[in-house]
Amino acid sequence: AQSVSQHNHHVILSEAASLELGCNYSYGGTVNLFWYVQYPGQHLQLLLKYFSGDPLVKGIKGFEAEFIKSKFSFNLRKPSVQWSDTAEYFCAVNPLTYSGGGADGLTFGKGTHLIIQP
């Protein structure tokens, strides 16, 4: 079964700092990759996704992520964070196979709690 690792469980940054959140997955085949954000007390919202094509994908609110197949990584970046980016960030993987894949649902990492200090 696939797994997803998010390296940092808690990250604290000052406003205007640059952000990079690491995500690695273990699965030998092709995957769809996602980053979701959960603001305090709210539901998960999609930040961005990668299915195919340009490995550098841009999402909402100035976020981007780069898929590096050789490293099984899909790191999330933002050049300048804001206080409103304080939230829980989840990386998720959905393998592209119908032999039990997809039907397993998304496999999530354990999340990174990001706190932005004003």
Partner 1 sequence: DTAVSQTPKYLVTQMGNDKSIKCEQNLGHDTMYWYKQDSKKFLKIMFSYNNKELIINETVPNRFSPKSPDKAHLNLHINSLELGDSAVYFCASSQDLLETQYFGPGTRLLVL
The residues binding partner 1 (CB under 8 A) are 32, 34, 36, 38, 42-46, 49, 88, 90, 94, 96, 98, 101-108, 110-111, 113
- Cα–Cα dist 31/35, whole Å: 13
Least distance CB 107 / partner 1 (angstroms): 8
Extract the tokens encoding 33.
């990759």
Name the residue nearer to partner 1 (CB basis): 29 or 118.
29
Amino acid at the residue 62: G
- The residues, ordered by sequence, that sit 6+ positions from 52 with a Cβ below 8 Å of its Cβ are none
Name the residue nearer to partner 1 (CB basis): 105 or 118.
105
Least distance CB 89 / partner 1 (angstroms): 10
Least distance CB 16 / partner 1 (angstroms): 26
Name the residue nearer to partner 1 (CB basis): 46 or 56.
46
Amino acid at the residue 30: T
Q: How many helices (H) and strands (E) does the chain have?
A: 0, 12
